[in-house]
Structure 1
Amino acid sequence: PSAGVMRLGEVSLARVPITRIGYLPQRFDLLPGTVGEAIARHDPDATQADIEAAARLAGVHGAIVNLPDGYATSTEPDVAHMSGGMVQRIGLARAFYKDPVLVVLDEPAANLDADGLSAFNAAVRALKERGAVVVVTALRPTSVSECDDLLVLDSGIQTGFGPRDIILREMVRNHMAVVGQGRGPGHDG
């Protein structure tokens, strides 16, 4: 950890401006302000176009414009009665704000319904098509359906790495082998 260089393509990660990195933590709360400010990371130079582009990518623009004050709706919990899924999608929009080159998402599908998950997967596809690197940490396979490669960790130890479909197939095969070993006599499957 104290030697070497992390690179994003040919560029040292240390040279990538922090504003070009999007991040969604596992637990996301809205800071005091407006929905638009939350998406813009409270950037005083934010434009409405950049805010709306991020919200559209996250699939939450329609829901935001239907709020009482749209993007100017307060994020105070006693004012804005938003579902966990809505807050999560605003967090995703915040991570997508200003077309980042690296996006790190920790359990991004938490609180998402089927529509939210579909929007999330479409956003990951769009980010990849733009050339962004997207890192997803997840426990649910539905969260990694757009990932190209998977790294599987068990207690911090790498137990698998490679193309998504191969790793998932191997995990199912290993699970079936463990389940099969647990059967006693008289079970014919």
Structure 2
Amino acid sequence: MPATTPPPANPALSEPPAPADGVLVPGSRYSDRDWALAAHRLALGWPVVQVAQAMGCHRNTVWRALQISEDFRARVAWERECLRHEAETRLASTVHLAAANIEKAVQEGDLKASYWVLDRLGPSRVLAPPAPAQPVDPKSWPESEDESPDRVPLDWQDAYKPDLPLPR
């Protein structure tokens, strides 16, 4: 069976947005690869001056690219979203590992870990039985759908004329 890569968690992040004109910064002597790397560095939080030094251009060149190229700004935003998604994924993984390690320590009888869990969660939440669910009074329910004040008739659309025609 051939190995397949799992689909990305967020399909919008799988590929960078395609520039409308085919280039990230129109009229630039720098390649799209240079601008993509600049967008990544800006998303990481590098100052514009350092991005410009790494590209080998003046800082005004990077500022102008940010001002005139919507595609370049979209690429920077996409890079930021990718970094945010990666950070969230790594944090969730770290939380899962920490919980598994604490659970393992408690199961092995580590008193320090057990006391730590009790201290953090509080004995009232750990030792107390769960609160019983509140019973629902069947008399509060309407007998039929006709008695329900929230009922919307199926022909409600017939009473209203649309303000705008449907798009074709």
Specify if TM > 0.5. Answer: no
Greater strand content:
1
Structure number with the bigger relative contact order (C-alpha 8 A, sep ≥ 6) is 1
Please indicate the TM-score interval, normalised by the length of the shorter structure: under 0.3
Relative to the length of structure 1, the TM-score reads 0.20
Greater helix content:
2
